[in-house]
Amino acid sequence: MSYFKPINKHPNLEKNKLGLTRRDYEGGVSTLCAGCGHDSISACIIEACFRLNIEAYKVAKLSGIGCSSKAPAYFLNASHGFNSVHGRMPSIATGANCANEDLLYLGVSGDGDSASIGIGQFIHAIRRQVNMVYFVENNGTYGLTKGQFSATNDLESKNKYGEDNLFPPIDLTSMAIQMGASYVARSFSGDRDQLVPLIMGAIQHKGFALLDIISPCVTFNNHDSSTKSYDYIRNHNEAMGKTDFVPLGEEIKTNYDDGSSVEVKLHDGSRLSLEKIDHNFDPTDAGKSLELIREKDKEGKIITGLLYVDNKCKPLTEIMDLPDKPLNTLEQDELCPGSEILEEINKGLS
């Protein structure tokens, strides 16, 4: 088994505006099972950060416990990281966000970490509109503890040992829309053409962005009766049509017929261009999004793509009117503005 990847790279490898190649965004060699969907997601995060010219030292990777939560070790080696207690990553993210809103927060979690032990934390991070990208690497199973059902496993899906699942699944996307998440997408680890633009959009979005990514567990949940296997997802995936991420200052290259596409402007001026599957759908209308998810679920289809976006939301730091500068850069006179100011405040209280 190899623990290191050869350092040499393709001499013609594309460079981004920082002069970095895709390989400069890599992490260590994965110790997850060979073929794990999580590794594909890591690769998509690498691709998205590379394309957005992100400086790795301005990124914080946060995670909890689980296979998914190991994944931050396998991308962006030069970034900050915090591996928290099981299900408690949202609290850490909230705190970090308040202390320094300059960093890009990538929270990596799984179905166990978010839909079971950490569901309370998950909901409140959404409710508070923490400015972060929240990845749920959703494989419907507790892989790290040898394949028990997780809370997102479908009712009809058996486990590897043939046991029936007794309880219905939690759909994190619908829950997130209801709780006020401002960017909600579902995708599949095996479809990088769809996933990379969705991650890019989520990174540029200001507010809570949920990416529920179905990520097959090759070891415990890739069997014939699984509804989260590579084959099942490929056969039941109903992609919402193409999503293009258009950076600021670039022209949209794809043109769709009138009414068949919709453009969403993100906070930094970049845009998402979405090809719509039907004319009635509007990704900025939460009600319609929830309806679509429910409808497709009834049809036995898994809808993937950008499900909902609210580009006018206020993130946590704005809601709380926190200082723009990171706390660790505040000088003495900013932290303790002096007795005159104190007196003025006191006057205001009387």
Partner 1 sequence: MSDKKYLFKRNNVWWVKLAVPLSLRSELGYDLRRTTGEKDLDKAIPIRDKIIEEFKTEFQIRKVNADDKGIVLRGTEHMQKTDISDPQYFHKVVDCQYACPAHTNVPEYIRLIAQKKYDDAYMLNWESNVFPGILGRTCDRPCEPACRRGRTHDKPVAICRLKRVTYDYKNDIDPYLPDIPKVKNGKKIGLIGAGPASLTVARDLLPLGYEVTIFEKDNKPGGLMRTNIPSFRLPAEVLDEEVYRIIKMGAELKTNSYIDSLEKVIDSFDAVFVGTGAPKGKDLEIPGRKEASENIHIGIDWLTSIAFEHTKSIGKKVIVIGGGNTAMDCCRTAIRLGADDVKVTVRSPKSDMKASDWELEEAIDEGIPILDNTSPKEFLLDDEGKLKGMKFEKMEAQYTDGKRKLIPTGEEIIIECDDVLLAIGQDNAFPWIEKNIGIDFNEWDCPIVDKTTMQSSHPKVFFGGDAAWGPENIIWAVAHGHQAAISIDNFCSEVDLFDRPPPLTNLVSQKMGIHEWSYDNDVSQEARLEVPHADLKQALNDLKMEVELGFDEKLALDEAQRCLNCDMQTVFQEKLCIECDACVDICPTDCITFTTNDTEEKVREKLRVPALNLDQDLYVSGKLATGRVMIKDEDMCVHCGLCAERCPTGAWDIQKNNYIEAHNLNKSRVKAKEVA
Name which of 8 and 328 has its Cβ closer to partner 1. 8
Instruction: Rule CB under 8 A: choose which of 214, 218, 274, 313 binds partner 1.
Output: 218
Residue 156 binds to partner 1 (criterion: CB under 8 A): no
Tell me: does residue 230 bind partner 1 (CB under 8 A).
yes
Distance CA 68, CA 41 (A): 10
Q: Does 15 bind partner 1 (CB under 8 A)?
A: no
Residues in region 176-215 near partner 1 by CB under 8 A? 189-190, 192
The residue from 35, 95, 120, 269 that contacts partner 1 (CB under 8 A) is 35
In the bound state with partner 1, the residue whose beta carbon lies nearer, of 87 and 216, is 216
The Cα 173–Cα 243 span in angstroms is: 18
9 φ, ψ (degrees, to nearest 5): -125, 170
Does 7 bind partner 1 (CB under 8 A)? Our answer is yes
User: For residue 51, which amino acid is it?
Assistant: R
Binding status of residue 1 toward partner 1 by CB under 8 A: yes
Chosen residue from 24, 27, 42, 91 binding partner 1 by CB under 8 A: 42
Closest distance between partner 1 and the C-beta of residue 36, in Å? 7
Give the shortest CB-30-to-partner 1 separation in angstroms. Answer: 8
What is the total count of residues that contact partner 1 (CB under 8 A)? 35
CB 173 within 8 A of CB 97: no
C-beta of residue 103 within 8 angstroms of C-beta of residue 96: yes
- Beta strand 183-188 pairing with 208-214: parallel
CB of 220 to partner 1, least distance (A): 12
Question: Does the protein bind partner 1 through residue 77 (CB under 8 A)?
Answer: no
Which positions lie near partner 1, rule CB under 8 A?
1-2, 4-14, 22-23, 29-30, 33-37, 39-40, 42-43, 189-190, 192, 216, 218, 222, 230-231, 234
